A and B are shown apart, each in its own frame.
Chain A
Amino acid sequence: MVSDCRRRPGWLGWMLMTPMLAWLVAFVIAPTLILAVYSFCQRDELGQVVYHFSWENYRRIFIDSDTGRLGTVYLDVFLRSLSYAGLTTGICLVVGYPVAWFIGRAHPGRRNLLLTLVMIPFLTNFLIRTYAWMTILSENGILNGFLGYMHIATSFDMLYTPGAVVLGLAYTYLPFMILPVYGSVEKLDPALVEAALDLGANPFRVFQKVIIPLTFPGIFAGVLLVFIPAIGMFAVAQLMGGGVDPTIGEVIQNQFFSARDWPFGSALGMMLMLLFGVFFWAGARWWKTAAE
């Protein structure tokens, strides 16, 4: 059987793979190549891309042109985006895991209803949901009004802070954590948990040694699905953070619009992609060693 699986695919196999390959070429490989080529180009006065090869755009990311020394501006921006994304992933995991567990252990007839509830926010446009959060958090907003009415606190700044950005990101990506974890929880055989308990493991040990390893594929998928898009997300940072502390998504977007510097934006995009690659590779490696 093994040799069967390793056989080169026949013409039918290639035929069946054509749509996927065409999709990959058209929407992944070709745009990435264009980005890679642009990142080595220059811009002209009108902002058009000029095919004049240089490393200048990459130099600009790492070297401060004023001092000629290592510049930390874009590094800081990267790190800020990473910390926002990391916090978001942590919150989504802590909040989403119990929810996924609860749904996965619920009566089968009720699971679909609960899953629908998780999906319901997607029926509303993402920007409208973000504006709704802005209404809740703003100074004359609903939450401040409530806190003032209950004499808990006088109005304090919530909107346009890093905390608001992380809240917005966690809200946006929470379903992407719940759904894959739910998938793993549903497949988990309850008999294994019972067996562990019967054999004398305390609940914490059961969770640590049985439940987590068995739901790990879901956790891993959820972490990737939340962390990676959260790094590049610019709309939440712009709307709920007020654009005060720049994130990498905002800086890249800026290059393509107001600065009219596509090559530099492409170079930043390539660096971001490299970073994703490293994370994915490290994650996959870690998983492999954890599995062994």
Chain B
Amino acid sequence: MRIARFLLAFVLLCSMTSAVRAEAKKKSVLNLFCWSEYVPQDVIDGFTKETGIKVNVENYASNEEMLSKLLAAGGKYDLIQPSEYTIEALVKADKLAPLNLENIPNIKNLDPAYTKLPHDPEGKYSVPWMAGSVGIVINTAKVKTPVTGYKDVFSGAHKKRIVVLNDSREIVSWALSSLGLPINDITPESLEKAKPVLAEWLPQVRVYDSDSPKTALLNGNVDVGIVWSGEAAILFKKNKKFQYVLPAEGAHRFIDSLAVPKGAANQENAEKFINYILKPEVSVKISDAFPYTNPNAEARKLLTKAQLANPASYPPGDPKLETFKDIGKVAADIDKLVTDLKNAKGK
């Protein structure tokens, strides 16, 4: 019975997808596969209103989740929103379609600092959506000594008063930066050098949290954090005592972009969407909802003073920022190292 019902559901589902496919041919649609809490609804509505193209949205919570769904259901999505290292991995595996830049004239609005980066050197496959960084948040009501880099965070003065992202690759890259080693060329030797640094750092951490590191800071359980810039921007908006500093040793900049998977049924519509969100007045709407760093130079001119003055969204000065590159299987070694050290500390 169950099997029969399952089969029935399956057949229905198949006919529905083929119906959607058929509809795709008749009417114009765009199947958008994007991060949750990252594409404002009024942007999607505005696009449909202007072009008549219906947008089907599906969300994911991590690059890894997106990868596994994309690889399992090829051709189902027209537009995806991967971060830089995932773009690189997808390009390497030949899973992205080159964009027809003639359809995207608004690309001229982008700040050149955010285009043609190492993950997509020719700018052929991806168009930046929003950028951000990983940096240090300090509760200046509690911490009076200056903190400028990772070494100050882990000097011992803030022992057990620190929250960091629960992300092995991030943590290891901070140790490598503090040693002056490259964060994208990770070898067994460089991990060996990072090990004693991390062995000293990790016991000082009070909380590991990637989802909402701001909570521990807001609750007063910790005074210092190494967190996503978006989290820091929200903290700063709530209370100016939370100051954001980009580490002097160098910091990770992430660039979430739009890209078209190979075999997409509606590539032209995807390009129309990319062109639409690159309009300054549309891009501003995204900044209003999600205070990351907007790579659109024309849109930035339209932002309010308060938005531009938020140091977590638009860090002052000329910080040392670097994007991540795909490291493939070394990820397993990194995970082992961090699990190992967390555990050694727990004993």
Contact = CB atoms under 8 A, between A and B. Distances in A.
The finding on whether chains A and B are genuine partners in a shared complex, rather than unrelated, reads: yes
Given A19-B1, A159-B221, A246 B342 contact: yes
Contact of B1 (A18, A160, A255): A18
B346 A22 contact: no
B167 A258 contact: yes
Interface stretch (A41-49, A102-110, A275-283, A284-292): A41-49
B7 to A, nearest CB: 12
B332 A45 contact: no
A48 B71 contact: yes
A245 B342 contact: yes
Contact of B219 (A26, A45, A76, A139): A139
- Which of A46, A77, A141, A261 has most chain B Cβ within 10 Å? A46
A246 B328 CA distance: 24
Contacts of B47: none
Contact of A251 (B67, B93, B328, B339): B339
A140 B139 CA distance: 14
B58 interface: no
Interface size class of A (residues with CB under 8 A): 35 or more
B89 A46 contact: yes
B163 to A, nearest CB: 8
A243 interface: yes
A45 B93 contact: yes
B329 A43 contact: yes
Given A19-B1, A80-B346, A138-B220, A243 B64 contact: no
A123 B6 CA distance: 30
A129 B65 CA distance: 27
B152 interface: no
Interface of A: 18-19, 22-23, 26, 43, 45-48, 60, 65, 73, 76-77, 80, 134-135, 138-141, 157, 159-160, 238, 242-246, 251, 254-255, 257-261, 264
Interface of B: 1-3, 6, 62, 64-65, 67-68, 71, 89-90, 92-93, 160, 163, 166-169, 205-209, 215-216, 219-221, 326, 328-329, 331-332, 334-336, 339-340, 342-343, 345-347
